[in-house]
Amino acid sequence: MLFVDTLDIASWDLECEFNNTDHRTELNGTERLIVRRGQPFTVNLHLRSGAYQPGSSALDLTAETGPQPSDQYGTRASFGLTDQIDTSQWSAAVTSHMDMVSLSICSPPDAPIGRWRLSLGQAGQFEFVLLYNPWCTGDMVYMEGEKELEEYVLAQDGIIFRGNSQYPIPTPWNFGQFEDGILDACLRILDMNPKCLRNPGKDASGRRNPIYVSRVISAMVNCNDDQGVLLGKWTNDYTDGVSPMSWRGSVEILRNWDRTACEPVRYGQCWVFAAVACSVSRALGIPSRVITNYQSAHDSNSNLIIELFVDENGQLMKNSRDMIWNYHCWIENWMTRPDLQTGFDGWQAVDPTPQEKSEGVYCCGPIPLKAIKQGEITYKYDGPFIFAEVNADVHTFWKLKDGRTKKVITTTKVGLKISTKSVGSDEREDITHLYKYPEGSEEERETFTKANHQNKLLQQQDNAGLLINVKVSPEMRKGCDFDVFAVVTNNTGSEKKCRLVFGSRAVSYNGILGGNCGFKDLLNSCVRLYQPLGKYLTPLRMNFSNYASHLTEDNLIRLAALLVDYSTQEAYLAVRNIVLVNPEIRVRILGEPKERRKLAAEITLQNPLSVPLLDCCFTVEGSNLTDGKIITERLDSAVEPGQDAKVKIYFTPTRSGLRKLVVDFDSNKLCHVKGYRNVIIGK
């Protein structure tokens, strides 16, 4: 009969620094054990008496997570010592036993993530955090390529593209997923989600699945149905909170939510929702990136048609919930989709901005990009909404004073220059091809047929005799006066008498119109025929004195040129949004950047306006640069036109590597100017 001797454990060492570094979680700190599933970690046991005897020494271990641990749901597992580790299930094996017993423990690659308790027989138990493991081939979030993993899991800062499709503006963002307290805030997000509050045992089990967790993140980053992180607001009055433009990163947002007993943080808009969701996903171990879709359709009734109405001056009217946003941001999370047929693994679109409900909750996705591209919009989750954002057909109607409406000939398109930050650089990567086939291709027609997008299939390209478009200068800076042009081309072979209305209005990024910035109405424009083409150029002067008071924080102006042919009563519309460029923030690093060595940065911005700037303030932060804190420097005096606003700030980097110092400038007349400087910190 084999004699079994239970190990008499006096104490243990979790080897947090070694384990966390091995599991690529050391940036969270090494004071506690944070490991990734499907990968062994080491615990050193100190015995009170006796010694480890191979083949006869025993130890009963029990791992549990959640308030109602269950073997059936994978939230509880009992196991003993084996000869070697089995990475497919909970297992433990002794790897050495000289002065102490080194115990290697492994969780399965589909174990639920979160806080776990592990009992070492009768000796006691310890706690640890288990995360997804994109380095493990058996994990649903497994991703090949060390550069990609560095970018989509470990990078704590990045670029989000805003502006417009003609002028994408890179905006720096501090994701900060490894900053102090952020992982705990992310785990609290999971604990506070309504599914967990209703059935905590089932929710704990569901956390094995990144599809489930991505949906929870999408729902909990907004607060529309729950105690979520951010409250959205799309007006210009943020006096009872913080303007979405003011945020430089996710850290302050997540800490504020966690610190105030889950009170929603005021306020967010799409890029803020997306950036916070990206931070949470990366913190939990899901590869994630923020993407921007320019000319993004909001299809409120799932008919894949955006119906817009303009008045007699070509200005947009609020007649339906359908809209086209200048841009819209969401995230993509990387995972396999075993719930779907093969071929739909990889990037999945997840949208945390509250727009439409999904299964009764304000969340959206995940839906495979491949499903969007191939028109498989019945696949889970929320295919029709995302498909419409990048593919919807736009119908524009001209509403006359007598109540009649006429369809307008226009070239408005949606789903342009879908963008994300490139791997390993701050350059823009165009990923439109991941969402849609080239326009007019046979594959595109097949996709629309599959998605029942008959309107797009039946639409014929109008080869109109009259064409109108809007031309602008290459770069239009805030504070300057400049001209924009309505260009009419006459291909009819005869002279045309027309009415040309050319107007401009401030507009927010989500399509809400503001005040009038300039207007011209030519009742009897004569568009003659020249060889080979007749062109009629009408300038509209954009004066800073006219547009300054109407601009929203988005710095966007909507130009609309409406041409009415008197002989046919046909109406032609050209619309173009322009973004006014803020001045550049210059950042100069003083001294040699090294870990744990105090550094200085000189930050400068030139006033481009014709009026003085008052209440000037620079705000700076950066992961592993400013020690998780925000540095604020205010200027005591006004900055006159053409003069520099300049400050010097000091910070001490805590980690080596490539880091991003993110800067925001604010004043009474020039608000939320963003800048950054990449800094390589030496050891």
Which DSSP category does 246 fall into? G
Which residues fall within 8 angstroms of residue 403, CB to CB, at 6 or more apart? Answer: none
Residue tagged active-site, from 223, 262, 299, 328 = 328
453 is catalytic: no
Question: How would DSSP label each residue in 584-595?
Answer: PEEEEEES--BT
Residue 391 annotated as lining a ligand binding site: yes
Q: Are 67 and 61 in contact (CB under 8 A)?
A: no
Q: With residue 283 as reference, give the H or E element that holds it.
A: helix 270-284
Distance CA 353, CA 360 (A): 15
Please return the burial class of 278, using the count of CB atoms within 10 Å of its CB with bins 0-12, 13-18 and 19+. Answer: buried
Instruction: Report the relative pairing of strands 571-579 and 409-410 from DSSP bridges.
Output: parallel
Residue 393 annotated as lining a ligand binding site: yes
Distance CA 576, CA 552 (A): 17
Residues 464-494 as b or e (16 or more Cβ within 10 Å = b): bbbbbebebeeebebbbebebbbebbbebee
- The token duo for 288 is 């994630």
Distance CA 8, CA 100 (A): 12
How many angstroms from the chain centroid is the CA of residue 517?
A: 31
- 3-class secondary structure, 190: helix
How many angstroms from the chain centroid is the CA of residue 587?
A: 25
- 3-class secondary structure, 212: helix
Residue 157 annotated as lining a ligand binding site: no
Distance CA 107, CA 115 (A): 13
List of E strands, 135-195: 157-163, 168-174
Q: Which residues pair with 542 in a beta bridge?
A: 482
615 is catalytic: no
Distances, alpha carbon 252 to alpha carbons 157, 353, 441, 623, 640, in Å: 14, 19, 46, 12, 32
| Total Cβ atoms within 10 A of residue 570 | 19
Tell me the longest C-alpha to C-alpha distance in the chain. Answer: 109
Q: Are 667 and 593 in contact (CB under 8 A)?
A: no
Which residues fall within 8 angstroms of residue 256, CB to CB, at 6 or more apart? Answer: 265
- The residue type found at 471 is K
Q: With residue 573 as reference, give the H or E element that holds it.
A: strand 571-579
Distance CA 304, CA 300 (A): 9
- The residue type found at 651 is F
- The token duo for 162 is 């805003």
Residue tagged active-site, from 106, 270, 278, 364 = 270
Residue tagged active-site, from 351, 382, 554, 565 = 351
State yes or no: cis peptide before 532, omega within 30 of 0. Answer: yes
Length, in residues, of the chain? 683
| Total Cβ atoms within 10 A of residue 554 | 26
Distance CA 12, CA 583 (A): 58
Residue 127 annotated as lining a ligand binding site: no
46 is catalytic: no
| Total Cβ atoms within 10 A of residue 318 | 10
Question: How would DSSP label each residue in 513-559?
Answer: EEEEEEEEEEEEEEE---SS-EEEEEEEEE-HHHHTTT--TT-EEEE
Q: Would you list which residues are annotated within the binding site for Ca(2+)? A: 391, 393, 439, 444
Active site residues: 270, 328, 351
Q: Would you list which residues are annotated within the binding site? A: 391, 393, 439, 444
